[in-house]
Structures are given as structure tokens and as C-alpha cells.
Structure 1
Amino acid sequence: MTTITTAVRPLVPDPDGDRALLGGKAWGIQRMLALGVPVPPAFVVTTEACARHRVVGGRLPADVRAALPAAIAYLEEATGRTFGCGPTPLLVSVRSGAAVSMPGMMDTVLNLGMTPRVQVALAVSTGNARFAADTARRFTRQFEAVVGVAPPAEPAAQLEAAVSAVFASWDSRRALAYRRERGLDDDAGTAVTVQAMVFGNLDDASGTGVLFTRDPLTGDPEPFGEWLPRGQGEDVVAGTHDPLRLTELARAQPAVHAELMALAATLERECRDVQDIEFTVESGRLWLLQTRAAKRSPAAAVRLAVALAEEGLIGEREALDRVSPGQVAAVLRPHVEPHARAAARVLASGRPACPGVVSGVVVCDTEAAQDRADAGEAVVLARPTTDPEDVPAMSAVAAILTELGGATSHAAVVSRELGVPCVVGCGTGTLMGLAGTEVTVDAAAGEVFGGVLPVVAPTGAGDEPDLARLLAWARAEPGADPAASLPDLLTARDRTR
């Protein structure tokens, strides 16, 4: 693809691209390419095209449609595969990517380009009819869910419809609510990244996963992540499967795990922040699909800001920029009184996703949970798993519980951004029977207790080492009140920036 337009352009090695135009996903891909990271080839339909898509009432602009064949030809040349035909077919993913990360808010279509002929060709070329059938099933289900119609027979028409649908998801009810709650610009738009598929569902040496370069729950320096053999990326982030810990990848494919850890360290160092990395292993070969700054719990935000400053990756002022008054308040929340905890009955347990201790009544219906929370009731939302439509309720409730999913699922990622205590993966059938029950959720421990348990007030900011370090840095800034609290100092900084 030699022609670069404002609307459609190939992704090339570039550490300094225009994030507002390319969107965060494509911008991260270009940075990875510049570092020599193995990334499947891709092109982007830019946020500028999204803006025009909105103006013309949700129709794909003519110049975008005209540029897509050349963009696909670029992927064909880069992969040696052909889109929609041939003995080695090319399938692509079509994914949103706003400049400001909005995890799970917009739509994705994987395995696009699938047709009955392509399914046969995949089965023949891989010698794996089961894989081909699984990929075709995944594509049809996801395309119908996102676009709202059965896939067209022609892959080119599939691509146009999917790009248009992903642009349209920028104005979905859930995305609008998400931006409204965070004060984000409705006119910024999303880009669409179209990337050659690599297949985590191909064979026993394949899989998909998510890696955080440090623990986003606690701020511990060790890498943290999950791995799902014979899966595709949506299986992990949607929380519909229970993934394994990354130690299982290290055991099964030590060389792949070692390569992943080395690349993760490079990306954290170059990006100067903890990274959230999506990866796929196809028949023993590692590919990185995305990297972005990791969403983190309030406790992790505090610990990581101090750690990164002490390691010299960021300065003290930037460390203060990375912590909000609300996160400090969350770190200083109460914890369960030890004797009451020892005597309490554990109703459910799972993986911690965002720490905190709260009590409330379990509600399993999303709309009812939001209504009751908006009316002032302390509500614990319990679901088999969550999806983007649940975010308004997740923002309103006191805590979130899910039966399925791991620490990189939708519920986990969104709860950490919201600062809402959350426990995931409690087990199928463990939560729905708790509707109407008063419980206490200790999300740091991943436990749900029966009844309302007493809590112990925390110590002050000066007694927590990381908070004390931030407090000292904040008080040392020019014009800072040396007697002010850390939340007050951070609030004052926000007002003057």
C-alpha cells in the first residue's frame, strides 16, 4: 500500500505517531513495530474518517471505501495470504481504538473474511477441519452480534460493514455513558485497526493471553497475567472463560514465555509506564497484538507511581500527576475487623480484581441494581459475567461479583478503572442464589461473607510509606501548603494544571 491518505493508512514503525488521528491501538502498534516487536501487519482507518462517518449519518465515506482494497492488498503482500480466496486465506480482525483508552466500550469483529470456500481452504491448508469450523462459527456469531445482520457473502462487503459498525459503536449508549462519567470528548471519535489474524485456537501449541508488566491490583513488581490455551482474545477479555495463570504458559512453552517477558520489559521501559499487553501464540510463535498503559487499582496506582519514580522512569512531579485524590481516598478505606472476619461464613470466593471492603445487598439484575444504587442503597452487583452494557450499573454499585472470568476480564479491568471493589471467577452457580442477601465483600482477599461485618478505620496517609513519599513530594512543590493533606494537595495541583 504505497498511498497514504488521511483516512486509511498502513501501520509502520514509528515511535512518534499522531495518537489523536491513529487512536491508541494503532499508535501502540507503530511503537511496537519501531522496537522490533513481532506484530501482525495492520492498517488503520483514522479518527478523521470516524468524524465524517458521524456527519453523514453512519455511512462509510466514499474515499474510505475506495481505499480499503489497496489496504487489504498491503496485508496480502505482507502475509503472503489472499483475502477471501486462495489456498492460504487471509482473515482479519476489525477493532476499535480511541485515542483515550475505553476498555470494552466499543465493538470488535474477529476472523473477518470467512466464507464457506475460505473455511474449506483453511481446513485443507492447516489439516485441521475442527479449527476451520470453530473459526467460522466464531466469525458468524460475532459479526451478527456487532453488525446486526448475517455476514455478506463477499469479504469486501463484510469489511465495509464491520468498519462502519465499529465507528457506530462510538455513539453506543454504553460508550456515551462512559465518556459522560469521565468528562471525555464526544467528538474525538475512534479509529479502526484492521489487522491480519493470528490464531490462538489453531492447535495445542496455540493460545491467547493478557500480560501486565506489573500487578495492576497490588502494584507488586512481578509481571501478572493470564493464558488461555486454544482460545482467541475475546475469550479472555469477555470473561466467558476461566483462563490459567501465566505460569502454565511458562511450563508448557518456556521459550515463548521467556520471549514474552523480555518484550514486556522493553515495552514498559520505552513507554515509561506499566503496560497491558494482549498476545497470541500460534503454533508456538509469539505475536503481540496491543500494548497500552494498564488500568490499575487505587492501591496499585499509588505504589506504582512511587516505584516508577524511584526507578528513574518518571520524575516526582509526573508521579504526583499519576495519582488522583480519589485514589488516595480509596487506599485509606477501612478493612474488616479481624475477629468478626474469623467468625463469619464465607459465601463465595474468587480472584481479587479491585480491592476494597463494602457491605450491601446482592442484586443479580443489572437494571434493578442501578435503580436501587441510584436510590441510595448499598448494592452488590452479582453477574455470571459482565459486558459493556453493564458499565452504567457497575459505576453506581458498591461492589461487583462475577461467577466467570479472571483478573483480566471485562469486569476486572473496568472495576479497577472505576475503583469499585470487585471479585471475579467465583464459580458457576455460586452467586445467583445470593440475590437479596446482605453480604460483606473483601475484594482484596477475594472473599464474600454473609452479613454486614464491622470494619476497622485505616491509618492516615502519613503512616503508609508510599503515601508518605507522595505527601513529601507534594509538600515540596513551589507554593504548596506544608500543612495540607495529600488529597488536598493533589486537588490543588489539578486546579492549577
Structure 2
Amino acid sequence: MTSMDKLVYKFSEGSRDMKPFLGGKGANLAEMTKIGLPVPPGFTVSTDACNEYFKNNGILTEQLREQIFTALSEIENATNKKFGDPSNPLLVSVRSGAVISMPGMMDTVLNLGLNDETVQGLARQTSNDRFAYDSYRRFIQMFSDVVMGIGNYMFENEMSRLKEEYQVTEDTQLNSQALQDLITRYKQVYNRETGEEFPQDPKDQLIMAVKAVFNSWNNQRAKVYREIHNISHELGTAVNVQTMVFGNMGNDSGTGVAFTRNPSTGEKNIYGEFLLNAQGEDVVAGIRTPKAIKDLEDEFPEVYNQFLEVSQLLENHYCDMQDIEFTVENKKLYLLQTRNGKRTAAAAVKIAVDMVEEGVISKETALQRVEPEQIAHLLHPQIDPDQDFEMLTSGLPASPGAATGNVVFDANEAEELKNIGKNVILARPETTPDDIHGIVAAEGILTSRGGMTSHAAVVARGMGIPAVCGCDEISIDLENERMIINGQNINKGELISIDGGSGKVISGAVKLTDPGLNEESQKLLDWAENIKQLGVRANADTPSDAAKAREFGAKGIGLCRTEHMFMGSERLPKVQEMIISESESQRKEALDKLVPYQEQDFYEILKIMDGYPTTVRLLDPPLHEFLPDREKLEQELNNLSKDEIDEEALEEKKQLLDKVKALEESNPMLGFRGCRLGLIYPEIYNMQVEALVKATKKLLAEGYSPQPEIMVPLVGHETEMELLKDSIHEIIDLHVEAPEEKEIFHVGTMIELPRACMTADEIANHVQFFSFGTNDLTQTTLGYSRDDAEGKFLAHYMQNDIIPENPFMILDQAGVGELVKIAVEKSKQVNPDLTRGICGEHGGDPDSIKFFHKIGLHYVSCSPFRVPVARLAAAQSVLNSE
């Protein structure tokens, strides 16, 4: 048989290096067998066999069947038992084993090989009738559920009825006769639901179970798990067939699961549970309360000491924390599985750092052991896992962290309550820029519509506010200030909690644990700093954002959006005054009132980022975004007319409404915004540059080292940039005399249009830096409106594999990424000293960061709470490219 034809491997034939073929469980069972640990004999049906099974439309080939039965006969030889032999039966477990661990997502069948005859042989062999019949009833229930899809509850109902008849409360109190009665009832359930008798041929049982485990690769929970964890749907699962060992043979037996370190905290101590007289699934099912693993020492001291030795051996062998499943049969230890243990973000960091300090792994390995997203989890409040709560519904986990507060449905009310010290959750059908003050005031955001890159999600992530979006089971009744969840009314003011990391919406308050980068996290990120080549800056619009970014290790600000500075309650009226001005002189007069505000904002941010570049984007959004909603304004005007308020107030409202109408656009995203505003109304950009220059001069006089960068948005033509650059330098020259101070100011542009990418060599002649605005570049390249795409078709596109992932979350490398690459290469040819960075949402996405590293960008910029994520991802990009 050639290696290509081989689909089944004995444990003694494999190793951990064969994980792609044997799956994680099979490879590790083979490895433990290889190093001489007590592993029950078995074999693995490979992932190749699984994929072949699906290609053959769910048919196991004769070649595969033959290899399975050949491997089975070798188990028989190794154990001196016979499959289907009533006098000396071999029983096996059939378990899934994916290449990448997916705990609990796929299926298992235990005690396979039992039938009406072999159960009697097992009873004689073990001198334990009760154990034998208990094993058989478990097998019927598990086989019926996993292989035939018969609901577990049907068997649990029969169990409950039987316990009532026998007047017992625990399963373990049922005697042998009672269990035989139960087996009869279980087989009746099977017959009723399938129209067939329960299969008595063990070989038929085995083939049916192998097919069922293959099929479980495509069950709904497995698919969802893979989507959440970005695991390919093409990998398939292996199937492990292993000799049964029994933890339910009596009080000299048991079963358990243990970790070599605490998976919650990372502390170096054995952590786990075991059950006496039980099978493995009992620990997971929670039917009985297990004991702490330390108590195993009292029950079986020799086994406990052996387990400690084995645990340390496995951790040293794999150089990682292990999750070990074991069974004790008549005081003899058997290992059923080892794998790298799943762990919390805090534990992942601590284990990685501790193992470096213990000399087990290198710093480089430690950096690759922690997922960048795990760092994000450390920065947001978490729900204390040691508590019970009532879940109301769930939505999309849009912004990590947990929050508790009184639910409100209006942004103004959220702000008012915040001002008097109340914690609130702002619930809206969806949020808009008008809600920004309420979002800032809220502990968390909840929306019934919108996706992972909706307004609520993007703003919340940028501000580090937990958010759950797209909860389609929630109906929000704004008029009556309530929301309805599956028929339950939640009124304004009621306490709710949300978990933006999982998407859970919870009734009442929950206990939260404090966030923060601990000592181990700081150490890990320091190691990353020494390896990464990409700079990491932050998108920050306020001094508090800038301070948080610097705390998290940002080396500058890659995007400071000046429009957010205009939204304050004192400033907005002055902005509106400027917008409705009829002449340039009136506009200039209104803008002069804004200079002190902008100057103070710039001063504070530049001061916090002293010594690092701070990129200030000049006004970008269309002016109508600063004006009231048209319908709302018309209603106010109508009310004023009825109340006969003074003519002056009425005239002001009319003037404002006329301006709103005049500024309305069919497609504002592609309309009168960005540099187009600066060219038509140069006084707006002039005011902003003047404020920045004054703030910089003040800091220089105080002995600081500000590094301001002025960024012009939405440039698509070389001439636009040339004209605005000249205008910017005129303002700088007007206020700055010393040549060395003039050189401090760098001028660049945001590349966010396909034409700008294709003519990057022309634009590069006029600037000192490029910053790729990948949010708008994605919209303009794909022709997607982000909000409409999220709400209307993106989910369908991803579910049906039209596109692989959300292009607003993970960069579309083939399209948008190719444009960025072209712009980089073209600009290098004419301006090799040009600094090139990226400031879209993608600047905090690890997959996108890998691409930006590869094409030679100098830095990425992301929200403050994504800075540690980007730092680690940037280091991993270097390590993975070596």
C-alpha cells in the first residue's frame, strides 16, 4: 500500500508531526504512545479519509472499510480481546479529532461493540453485572443521539420515570435489574424513532459511528465555532478508534480532566476535576459534581503521584500547558488525550512569559503563543465567570468588554444621567453621528440593527466602549421607551448587562473584573517592541484618547479627526453659525471663534504625544453633518409658528432649514467633502492650520518637541494637493519665522480613492507622507456603502462564500490591498523618503497588519484599545516571515 493510499494509522505509526493527517487528538495519542505513556491501543482514520468521504457524497469506500477492520484486528491482537466475541469482548470509543482543537464541537461514542450478547460477556469478564449494563445503556443513548440524531431528552425522560418507579434519586442507585429494564426501554425508543431494531453487529455499529463523526464536522455548532475562530471549513476531521478503559467499574475506578497549569489565571499548579466510578462524558455533562484533582491523592495516592509525573513530562515534551483526559481502571492510570489547553487571555500571557523565564521556550516562541486578540480582552472589563446570570438574548460581539447599567433609549438622556453619576446602557435601533454624546456617556451600546462595522461598533471599539450590535430578537419601541425581547418587556431604567466579547445581553447587574495590562503583558509587549518593524500609532481625537494610546505604547497619532472636536455643546452652535454664513467675511468671523478651541485641543494632544508625530486630518465630512436633522427642524419650525414665538427665532430656524436643504446631497460620501471643502471654502482649512501652528509654537516655547503632521483628506488629483499644500504653507509662513521651526510641520494626504492610488507617483511629489484611509478606500474600490452592505447583503455574501470575510474588518488584499501596493511602489519611485502608513480600521487587524508589513509600510494606526494588539501582531508579522 502506498502512503497516498493509506487512510488509517495505528497509534504506534504516527507522531505529533502528522497533525494535518491525524488531527490534533490522533497525533497526540500517537506521540504519547511513542514516548511510552499508558495509552490504550487504537488507530486513527485520517482527515484525508474524511475529505474523501465528503467527495463521495457520504459513502465509505471498500478500501477504507478494509483498512479500518485490519487496524481493528491489530487492536484485538494487542489486547487479547475479540470485537463482538461474547466471551471476551473488545469495546472501543469512537471520537472526533480535528487538526485545530474544537472542544465539544463534534461527536463521541463510547462503549461501542456492546450488544445483547457481549454485555453478558462483559459482566462475566468483570464480575460486575451493574457495570456492564450501565455501560450498555450509556452506549445505546450515546449511539442513538450521535449516530441517529434521537434527542437525548427522550432517554433522560425514561431514566427519570424508572428512578421514580424504583424510588431512587441518583442514577448510581439503580441496580443491575433496573438497568436491564432501562435498556429495554431505550431500545424501544430507538425502534420507535427509527423504525429499526438497535444494531447488534459491532462492525455495523463501528462503520455507522465513523460516518457520524465525519458528519459532525458539518454540524451547526462546529461551523459556527470555525467561523468565530477563522478555521478553514476544508480541513475535515480525523476519527480515533481506541480500546475502551472503564472509569465506571466501581470505586477503584474514575475519570477526569486536568490542566498542567490553571487555564483561568496561568498559575503553575495542576488544575482539574475527577469523578469516581464514572465515564469521561459524566465530567463534561455536569450530571454529578466532580471533585478537585487534588482529592485524587486521597483516593489513589500512587495514581495521583504518577499523574503528576506524567503531567510534567507532557508539558515539558510539548513545551506548553496541556489539557489531559485520563481514566483510572482498577487503580491503573490510562491517558486518553493530551492537547495544548484552551486558556483565558490573562492565562495565555502569564503562561507564555513564565515559560520564557523558566527556560522552557524562547521570547520569540512566547510572542507567537499569544493571539493578538487575546491582548484586546485584557483591556476591557470582563464578566466575572464565577456567577450565574439570566441571558436575555445575544447579538454580534461588536466591541469587547462588559458593562452594566440602566437601559436608556435616547442619547441626550444618557448624557444627562451620566452627569449625575448614573451608569447607562444606550439601546438604539442603530446609532448615528448625532448620538456621539450619548455613546461617550454610556457604559455600553446595544443596537437591534447593524453589524460589526456599523457606526455603533466602530465608534465603540475606537473608544473602548463595550457594544453588542445586530440583536435581531430585540424590538426597540422608542415611543414608549422600552424594548421587547422574545415577548419580555424591558423598560427604561431597568438594569441590564452586555458582554461585547461574546454578544450576550443579560438581565440585571453582573459582577465585573477590572481590566488592564499587567506586568506579564507589559513584558510580552516589550519583547514585541524589540522585534517588530512596523511603527504603531493611534487614532485619537481627544486628549484622553491620546493619553490612553500612549499608556498602551503608541508611538504617535496616525489620525486625529478634527471634526469630532466640533461636536461639543459649546462649539456646535459656532460651527453652525459658520455654515449658514452668507459671505466669506461672515464665515471668517465665525471661524475665528473656533480657533481657541481647536488650538487648545491641538495643544493638549501634541503635549501628550511629545516627541512623537501627530497627524491632524483637516475637516473631512460634509457640512450637513453638523446641522440638525431636516425632519426634526421642520417639526420645530412648525411648533414655533403655532406658538407665535418672536420673529427673530422663527427667521433663524428658517435660515437654518434653508441651509440644510441647500447642503443635502444624493450621495454625500462621494460629494462635497474632504479637500473639496478646503478648496471651495479655504478659510475653514486656514483656521485649522492656524490653530495647529499656534499650539505648536506655544509648546516649542515651553521646551516641548511637538511633531505636527497636517493631512489633507480625499485627494484624488495632483492639482488638489498642490493647491492645498501651497495654502497650508502660506499660513505656516505667516505665523512662523524660524526656518527650523517651519520644517517641523509635515504635510501629507490621506489616500482613500482608487485614482489616488493609481496616480500616487504624481501626488507623492507634493507631500512628505501618505496615510492610507482603508475604510473609504474599501468603499470606493468595492462600490459598497459600508452601512448598507452590513445591513443588506454582506452576511449573505460571507455565509455563501461569495466573499471570504467582511472587507471592512479584514483588508481585501486582492483588490484594495493591491491598490495600496501599487501606490507604495509608485510613490517610492519618485519620493523614496516618503513616510507611508495606514489609519483605517484595518490598522488594528492582525491579518491586515501582516500584509502591511509585507508591502513595506512604515506604520499602522488604530484605536487606542487596539494599540497593544497591533504591537503584538507587528512582531508576529516579522517572526512569521522569517
Please report the TM-score for the alignment, with normalisation by the length of structure 1: 0.76
Pairwise CA distance, 1:181? 1.8
Report if the CA contact (8 A) 1:143-1:151 is conserved: no
Pairwise CA distance, 1:257? 0.4
**Which aligned pairs between 1:150-169 and structure 2 lie closer than 5 A?**
151-169=198-216
Compared CA separation, residues 131 and 465, structure 1 to 2 (3 A): same
Structure-1 separation of matches of 2:13 and 2:357:
31
Pairwise CA distance, 1:370? 3.4
Structure 2 residue aligned with 1:300: 347
Structure 1 residue aligned with 2:93: 93
Structure-2 separation of matches of 1:265 and 1:171:
36
Structure-2 separation of matches of 1:57 and 1:165:
13
**Which aligned pairs between 1:10-49 and structure 2 lie closer than 5 A?**
10-12=10-12, 14-49=14-49
Which of 354, 359, 368 is the matching residue for 1:321?
368
Deviation string 1:284-324 (CA, Å, 9 cap, x unpaired) is 00000000000001110110110111112111111111223
Structure-1 separation of matches of 2:340 and 2:98:
13
Higher RCO structure (Cα 8 Å, ≥6 apart) = 1
Is it true that 1:70 corresponds to 2:70 in the alignment?
Answer: yes
Structure-2 separation of matches of 1:91 and 1:4:
30
Report if the CA contact (8 A) 2:525-2:872 is conserved: no
Deviation string 1:254-278 (CA, Å, 9 cap, x unpaired) is 0000000100100000101000000
Structure 2 residue aligned with 1:363: 391
The DSSP-based 3-state class of the residue aligned with 2:296 is helix
Q: Which amino acid aligns with 1:44?
A: T
The DSSP-based 3-state class of the residue aligned with 2:288 is coil
Compared CA separation, residues 455 and 22, structure 1 to 2 (3 A): closer
Pairwise CA distance, 1:379? 10
The DSSP-based 3-state class of the residue aligned with 1:12 is helix
The DSSP-based 3-state class of the residue aligned with 1:276 is strand
Structure-2 separation of matches of 1:331 and 1:299:
7
Which of 509, 533, 536 is the matching residue for 1:479?
533
Which of 495, 498, 509 is the matching residue for 1:452?
509
The DSSP-based 3-state class of the residue aligned with 1:60 is coil
Report if the CA contact (8 A) 2:381-2:403 is conserved: no
Pairwise CA distance, 1:154? 0.4
Q: Percent identity?
A: 40
**Which aligned pairs between 1:98-117 and structure 2 lie closer than 5 A?**
98-117=98-117
Q: Which runs of 4+ in 1 moved over 6 A?
A: 434-437, 439-442, 453-457
> Structure 2, unaligned stretches of length 5 or more?
149-193, 405-444, 446-487, 500-505, 537-552, 555-866
The DSSP-based 3-state class of the residue aligned with 2:217 is helix
Structure-2 separation of matches of 1:455 and 1:191:
40
Compared CA separation, residues 352 and 41, structure 1 to 2 (3 A): farther
Report if the CA contact (8 A) 1:362-1:439 is conserved: no
Structure 2 residue aligned with 1:196: 243
Report if the CA contact (8 A) 1:13-1:32 is conserved: no
Is it true that 1:265 corresponds to 2:320 in the alignment?
Answer: no
Structure 2 residue aligned with 1:50: 50
Structure-2 separation of matches of 1:454 and 1:143:
41
Structure-1 separation of matches of 2:55 and 2:10:
25
Pairwise CA distance, 1:455? 6.5
Structure-1 separation of matches of 2:354 and 2:256:
26
Report if the CA contact (8 A) 2:403-2:497 is conserved: no
Report if the CA contact (8 A) 2:532-2:875 is conserved: no
Q: How many residue pairs end up in the alignment?
A: 413
Is it true that 1:231 corresponds to 2:300 in the alignment?
Answer: no
Structure-1 separation of matches of 2:366 and 2:21:
27
Compared CA separation, residues 18 and 450, structure 1 to 2 (3 A): closer
Q: Which amino acid aligns with 1:370?
A: S
Deviation string 1:141-164 (CA, Å, 9 cap, x unpaired) is 000001115641100000000001
Structure-1 separation of matches of 2:77 and 2:32:
20
Q: Which amino acid aligns with 1:66?
A: E
Structure-2 separation of matches of 1:79 and 1:162:
22
Structure-2 separation of matches of 1:218 and 1:43:
35
Q: Which amino acid aligns with 1:122?
A: L
Structure-2 separation of matches of 1:26 and 1:70:
18
Structure 1 residue aligned with 2:6: 6
Q: Which amino acid aligns with 1:467?
A: S
Pairwise CA distance, 1:108? 0.7
Report if the CA contact (8 A) 2:324-2:336 is conserved: yes
Compared CA separation, residues 4 and 450, structure 1 to 2 (3 A): closer
Structure-1 separation of matches of 2:61 and 2:359:
46
Structure of larger gyration radius? 2
Please report the TM-score for the alignment, with normalisation by the length of structure 2: 0.44
Structure 2 residue aligned with 1:492: 874
Which of 441, 465, 468 is the matching residue for 2:519?
465
Compared CA separation, residues 212 and 111, structure 1 to 2 (3 A): same
Q: Which amino acid aligns with 1:308?
A: M
Pairwise CA distance, 1:5? 5.2
Pairwise CA distance, 1:242? 1.9
Structure-1 separation of matches of 2:508 and 2:395:
22
Pairwise CA distance, 1:71? 1.5
Report if the CA contact (8 A) 1:92-1:112 is conserved: yes
Is it true that 1:181 corresponds to 2:237 in the alignment?
Answer: no
**Which aligned pairs between 1:108-127 and structure 2 lie closer than 5 A?**
108-127=108-127
Structure-1 separation of matches of 2:873 and 2:532:
15
Structure-2 separation of matches of 1:142 and 1:36:
31
The DSSP-based 3-state class of the residue aligned with 1:476 is helix
Compared CA separation, residues 81 and 458, structure 1 to 2 (3 A): closer
Q: Which amino acid aligns with 2:231?
A: L
Q: Which has the higher helix share?
A: 2
Pairwise CA distance, 1:458? 4.2
Pairwise CA distance, 1:239? 3.2
The DSSP-based 3-state class of the residue aligned with 1:104 is coil
Report if the CA contact (8 A) 1:26-1:44 is conserved: yes
Compared CA separation, residues 44 and 243, structure 1 to 2 (3 A): same
Pairwise CA distance, 1:495? 5.0
Pairwise CA distance, 1:235? 1.1
Structure 1 residue aligned with 2:261: 214
Structure 2 residue aligned with 1:136: 136
The DSSP-based 3-state class of the residue aligned with 1:177 is helix
Pairwise CA distance, 1:69? 2.0
Report if the CA contact (8 A) 2:531-2:875 is conserved: no
The DSSP-based 3-state class of the residue aligned with 2:311 is helix
Pairwise CA distance, 1:333? 2.5
The DSSP-based 3-state class of the residue aligned with 1:256 is helix
Structure-2 separation of matches of 1:142 and 1:269:
35
Pairwise CA distance, 1:122? 0.9
> Structure 1, unaligned stretches of length 5 or more?
337-348, 354-360, 381-397, 399-433, 443-448
Structure-1 separation of matches of 2:368 and 2:337:
25
Pairwise CA distance, 1:59? 1.5
Compared CA separation, residues 254 and 457, structure 1 to 2 (3 A): closer
Compared CA separation, residues 454 and 128, structure 1 to 2 (3 A): closer
Which of 322, 331, 336 is the matching residue for 2:378?
331
Structure 2 residue aligned with 1:418: none
The DSSP-based 3-state class of the residue aligned with 1:296 is coil
Compared CA separation, residues 272 and 13, structure 1 to 2 (3 A): farther
Structure-2 separation of matches of 1:316 and 1:261:
27
Structure-2 separation of matches of 1:174 and 1:453:
27
Structure 2 residue aligned with 1:145: 145
Compared CA separation, residues 118 and 256, structure 1 to 2 (3 A): same
Compared CA separation, residues 182 and 334, structure 1 to 2 (3 A): closer
